[in-house]
Structure 1
Amino acid sequence: MSRSERLLDLIQILRRHRRPVSGRTLAGEMGVSIRTLYRDIATLQGQGAPIEGEAGLGYVLKPGFMLPPLMFTDEEIEAIVLGSRWVARQPDKRLSAAAADALAKIAAVLPDDLREDLDANTLLVGPRGEAVEGIDLGLVRQAIRNERKLGFLYRDAGGAASERMVWPFALGFFDKVRVVVAWCEARQDFRHFRADRMSGLNATDIRYPRRRQALLKEWRVVDRLRSR
């Protein structure tokens, strides 16, 4: 492994750790000596990488640091292209357009050889399923980002309708259906709502009382327990 590749790996490892991580842990993950690790940290800091910390206390990479596009590997480009192409075929028009725009922005700043790899990428996405939403998923995504309550009319599998007020915190994308994951005030529990069974969406300005990250974490625990 070249030194430049090693420095890139170090940046990627630091990105995976949200809290300070010791130099020995980093050195162990990279398979290098602690002295080499300290030299690499100093090199990255000298090149402008916002790495905070010191020997004995641990290191953390401040959010927002961007890697130059030439650092993409072949497989990373394939992942970006495949993911963007899949999203671009979804019925959520705003998200679809955003995926196409993001791919164009990435292509615009790539070096010529990598741009050619992107344009010639042969990982293809098949035709999308006939998913039909009765609501604007863009409003759902905005409510999740802003932690706002959503009201809507929901029809179950048997056609029975009920009014719901929920705290949305996740949106699942499946081949033929989209699912809103939320805390339901009427049921006082986590519920999954198929977007094709929702109508009369009311995107409120009411902030729900918990953080979406906390709801997501709790839901995962509950979901694991229920699936046993």
Structure 2
Amino acid sequence: MIAKPLRSTDRLFQIIQILRRSSRPITARALAGELEVSTRTIYRDIAHLMGQRVPVSGEAGVGYVLGSGYDMPPLALTPVEIEAIVLGAQWVAAHGDEMLARTALDVLAKIAAVVPERLQPFIIAPSTAAKLPLDASEDTVDAADFRSAIRKEMKLRLHYCDQRGTLTERTVWPVVLGYSDTTRVLIAWCELRQDFRHFRTDRITAVEKLDERTGEPYHRLLRRWEIWRASELARLKSH
């Protein structure tokens, strides 16, 4: 199926979006490829944006960047962006804990209240659907405690039952609360194992919030976990 070409106003908006999400210069050829138009059209659009005082800088053959001080109305959304938001909110409403699920529906209500009438059907009668919710009935802990500890960089003490039924206590530095279609997983640095571990929340029987900060700033801990994860994925692929 051939994609319907964007209208010129939508295309200008998309160019700004592409430039805004990248920290490196984007060439006209790359922009043309993503938007399925000619490079000549991109050059014309870039000139138009510059003429409207949008802070785009760069040149042909090198690439273009968007000035960091530029801002757009936060709800100047395209139909596809709305579909992405609706699908994401559906998934969170189906798979998140009670607080996240309620908040996801609130977000949709706020968006529906401010988008133009022509975009209302994308929210009221979406063409997307998320999978059925996971069964979180066995969770005995509140996921909000994990998110709070992550944001505040505080340690947690977990009472954990592993897959063999062995009960242990772990003091951890929480990094990410991960969601899948069937489980929730707390990813954390484990002081006992001196390594990163994944703890299924349905196996955590109790959690204590400790009045003690994690051993390093969150951004550094997160970066260490990202390196560890990349190493683990490479190891699995090699076997």
TM (norm. structure 1) is 0.81
Paired residues in the alignment total: 219
Residue equivalent to 2:16: 11
- The residue identity in structure 1 corresponding to 2:68 is K
Give unmatched runs, 5+ long, in structure 1. Answer: none
- 1:203 corresponds to: 209
How does 1:154-169 map onto structure 2 within 5 Å? 154-169=160-175
1:227 aligns to what? Answer: 236
Q: CA offsets, 1:110-155, max 9 Å, x none? A: 1112113321224344542322322111111122233332221111
Cα deviations across residues 146-168 of structure 1 (Å, max 9, x unaligned)?
A: 33322211111111111111122
User: For residues 25-44 of structure 1, what are the structure 2 equivalents within 5 Å?
Assistant: 25-31=26-32, 32-33=39-40, 35-36=43-44, 38-43=46-51
Distance 1:142 1:222 in 2: 28
How far off is 1:100 after superposition? 0.7
> Could you say which residue in structure 1 is the equivalent of 2:139?
133
Given candidates 65, 84, 93, the residue that maps to 2:71 is 65
Report the secondary structure of 1:69's partner residue.
coil
1:192 aligns with 2:198: yes
Superposed displacement of residue 36, structure 1: 3.3
Query: Residue in 2 aligned with 1:147?
Result: 153
Q: Which amino acid aligns with 1:188?
A: Q
User: What residue number does 2:85 align with?
Assistant: 80
Separation in 1, partners of 2:185, 2:30? 37
Alignment partners' CA distance in 2, 1:115 and 1:123: 14
- Does the C-alpha gap of structure 1 residues 195 and 121 become closer, same or farther in structure 2, counting only changes over 3 Å? same
State the alpha-carbon separation in 1 of the partners of residues 70 and 149 from structure 2: 24
Taking the aligned partners of 2:198 and 2:232, their CA distance within structure 1 comes to 11
Alpha-carbon displacement from aligned partner over 1:171-223 (angstroms, at most 9, x marks no partner): 22122211111111110111110001113312335143142431342132122
Q: 1:141 to 1:52 in 2, by over 3 A?
A: farther
The unaligned stretches of length 5 or more in structure 2 are 1-5, 33-38
Deviation, structure 1 residue 102? 0.4
- Going from structure 1 to structure 2, the CA distance change for 1:105 and 1:216 (only over 3 Å counts) comes to farther
**How far did 1:70 drift?**
4.8
Q: Percent identity?
A: 35
The 8 Å contact of residues 96 and 179 in structure 2, kept in 1 or not, is answered as no
Does the CA-based 8 Å contact 1:27-1:37 persist in structure 2? Answer: no
Structure 1 residue 105, shift from structure 2 partner? 0.5
Find the aligned partners of 2:102 and 2:57 in 1 and give their Cα distance: 40
Distance 1:190 1:146, change over 3 A: same
TM-score, normalising length: structure 2: 0.78
What's the secondary structure of 2:169's corresponding residue? strand
- Confirm or deny: 8 A CA contact 1:26 1:37 kept in the other structure: no
- Name the CA shift for 1:110/1:219 in 2 (closer, same or farther; >3 Å): same
Q: Offset of 1:35 from its aligned partner?
A: 4.7
2:139 counterpart SS class = coil
CA RMSD of aligned residues (A): 2.8
